[in-house]
Amino acid sequence: MTATVTGRPATGVRWFVEGWQPGYGTSFEAPEAGAPGGNDDGSDGTDLAVELDPAAWQALRQPAEVRAPDVVLLVDGVRRIDASLWSDEPDGVSYPAIAASYAAGVVRCDLRRGAATLAGARPERGLFTPSAAATDLTVGQIRYPARRVDHPDPATLPQVVQPALAALEIAVSEQARADGPDDPADLLVVDGPLRGRQLPNTVGYIKSVSRTYLPANLLPVVTGLRPAERSPVFRHGTRWRSYSWYLRLPGPRGAPWAGIVRVECRPDLTPQAAIALADLSLATLPRFASAPYKDPRAPQNLVPIAGLERRLRAMLGDARLLHRALSLSAAGQESTAWR
- How far is it, in rounded angstroms, from Cα 112 to Cα 197? 28
Element (H, E) at 305: helix 303-315
Predicted model pTM = 0.83
Q: Provide the β-strand partners of residue 116.
A: 109
- How far is it, in rounded angstroms, from Cα 192 to Cα 18? 30
* pLDDT computed for residue 209 by the predictor: 81
| CA count, 13 A, side-chain hemisphere, 197 | 29
Which one-letter DSSP state was computed for residue 53?
A: -
Q: Which of 275, 285, 267 is nearest to 232 (CA)?
A: 275
* Amino acid of residue 152: P
Question: 3-state class of 338 per DSSP?
Answer: coil
Residues with Cβ within 8 Å of residue 135, at least 6 apart in sequence: 1, 2, 3, 9, 11, 13, 146
* pLDDT computed for residue 36 by the predictor: 37
- How far is it, in rounded angstroms, from Cα 52 to Cα 199? 26
* pLDDT computed for residue 140 by the predictor: 85
Q: Where are the alpha helices (DSSP H) in 57-203?
A: 161-179
Q: Provide the β-strand partners of residue 245.
A: 263
Q: Provide the β-strand partners of residue 15.
A: 87
Contact 215, 285 (CB under 8 A): no
- How far is it, in rounded angstroms, from Cα 152 to Cα 95? 7
Tens-digit pLDDT profile for the chain (339 aa)? 333 444 344 446 788 887 655 654 444 443 334 333 344 444 457 899 999 999 999 999 999 999 999 999 999 999 999 999 999 888 888 999 999 999 999 999 999 899 999 999 999 999 999 999 898 998 888 999 999 998 778 888 889 999 999 999 999 999 988 887 666 568 999 999 988 787 889 999 999 887 888 999 999 999 999 999 999 999 987 667 899 999 999 988 778 898 999 999 999 999 999 999 999 999 999 999 998 888 888 899 999 999 999 999 999 999 999 999 998 877 765 544 445
* Amino acid of residue 12: G
Domain boundaries, the chain: 2-26+44-330
| CA dist list (Å): 107 to 48, 76, 158 | 33, 9, 27
* pLDDT computed for residue 313 by the predictor: 96
Q: Provide the β-strand partners of residue 270.
A: none
